[in-house]
Structure 1
């Protein structure tokens, strides 16, 4: 179980890192022109950059606390926060009729829920 939780955490951290770098450092206009990024045209630049920073923090929070043995409870807490973020993403993409992205966000939500369940539930997060 621990190996599955680590694999899930690494996969989700990679997604968070990629999304975070993109939102934090790519100009909003370029994001808005990309497939699935149209929602950025409807919000402020600060909001997009803030989401990017939160995703970068999530990438770190899914791996570093357990890897370093410092406050490993932050891993499932981060996973729960990711679930909430994905609910918002699913609502946003759903309102825009972007059902493919809703499905993708559901996969990310499921990974995060698995991580949270695994570490709050039957398996302590060990290195």
Structure 2
């Protein structure tokens, strides 16, 4: 179980890191690169996109480093819960925009974050 949690955590952190491109790439270019799935970036200001990117970087770091460095490892499930809330927001945004076809990846990432939070708060916590 611990190995599965580490794999899911690593995949989720990688997804978060990849999605931070919104910090560096202009939103018009992002919207044109991803087609319909990335048109949502035009609904947000550059500052809001930068804030989302920073939250994603913090999420990726918070999922991995506390456990690896053994410094406040209780932050891993807390971060996973926050990442789950981030993806709840993404799902809500997609539903409001009527993008039901592109909602599946966000639901998968949400499930991954909930799984990590559950596993690290419960059966495979770092406190034991």
Query: Which stretch of structure 1 is more off in the superposition, 92-101 or 73-82?
Result: 92-101
Structure 2: 5+ residue stretches without partners? none
Instruction: Give runs of aligned pairs for residues 78-117 of structure 1, distance below 5 A.
Output: 78-117=79-118
Q: TM-score, normalised by structure 1?
A: 0.93
Residue in structure 2 matched with residue 38 of structure 1 by the alignment: 39
CA drift of 1:97 comes to 2.1
Structure 1: 5+ residue stretches without partners? none
Residue in structure 1 matched with residue 126 of structure 2 by the alignment: 125
Task: Please give the alpha-carbon distance, in whole angstroms, between the structure 1 residues aligned to 2:54 and 2:2.
Answer: 28
Deviations 1:21-54 (A, max 9, x none): x111111111222322211111111000110111
Secondary structure at the aligned position of 2:103 is classed as helix
Deviations 1:73-99 (A, max 9, x none): 111111101111111101111222222
**Aligned-pair RMSD on alpha carbons?**
1.3
Following superposition, which runs of at least 4 residues in structure 1 exceed 2 angstroms of deviation? 32-35
Residues paired across the two proteins, number: 125
